[in-house]
Amino acid sequence: MKIYKAYAKVNIFLKITGKREQYHEIISRFMKVENLYDELSFIEKEKLDANEFQIIGDFSCQTEQNTIYKAYIALKEATDSKKLEQLMQTHAIKVEKKIPAFAGLGGGSSDAATYLKMCNEVLELGLSDTELAMIGLKVGADVPFFIYGYKSANVSGIGEIVEEFEEELLDIETYTPEVKISTPKVYTIYREDFYHPIDGVKTQELKEISSENALQKMSPEEANDLFEPALKGYQELKKYHKAGYHFSGSGSSFFKIKENKE
């Protein structure tokens, strides 16, 4: 039974560049967190139930709301693959959850991307990363980054433009308080009270800065346009924010570069 790793990510910076219909366009540096990942595998079902898509794991949501199930539906619609349906009739998808939910670490998106890649490999569907990324985008804006598997990337548009940024992977330490944050709520607060998109010049500067320099030069508020809206919507976050830590995505996780203890 092969085990696939679905890695977490942090947003080194996340800035709003504008709006596209109901979505916000961004420029963000995504970086893989190598020491934090979920583990996914296919296992044979104990009881065959042709009509049930089965996920084994510690999830609080209904199966239909799970990003893995949404990825299955998107892949089925894109490929019309009978092999895919047969696989999920005979096998469950098992997930060992390590990435906290509602945390700004991309756990759901990473699981969805990893599931798509697993199906593509096991069933020999022959889809390119670009094709998988476009399918994944129907599940969530962060999914394409995880499809490509880059260590670090500039992500723009609504998440569909993923450009590899070549740099050394930082040793990231994360912690996630028990605060469940709604991304739509944080974006609504941003749009109503904090909306101030950056211009093209600033966007280009950010695309070229190394992640380590960005974290050194920018405060948490400067680095992430969603930090102050999250604090406004979830005031209990303030007591968890420690000096030296930045804020990932729309929360609630904080992160910093691990200090070398020599």
Catalytic residues: 9, 142
* 122: nearest Cα among 95, 93, 151: 93
Residue 228: strand, helix, or coil:
helix
Q: How many CA atoms are closer than 13 Å to the CA of 49, on its beta-carbon side? A: 9
Q: How far apart are the first and last CA of the chain?
A: 39
Token digits for 124?
Answer: 């020999």
Burial 53-69 (b: 16+ CB within 10 A, else e): bbbebebeeeeeebbbb
Cβ 13 vs Cβ 251: under 8 Å? no
Q: Which residue has the tokens 């098992």?
A: 94
Cα–Cα dist 134/112, whole Å: 13
28 Cβ neighbours under 8 A, 6+ residues apart: 11, 12, 13, 14, 15, 154, 155, 156
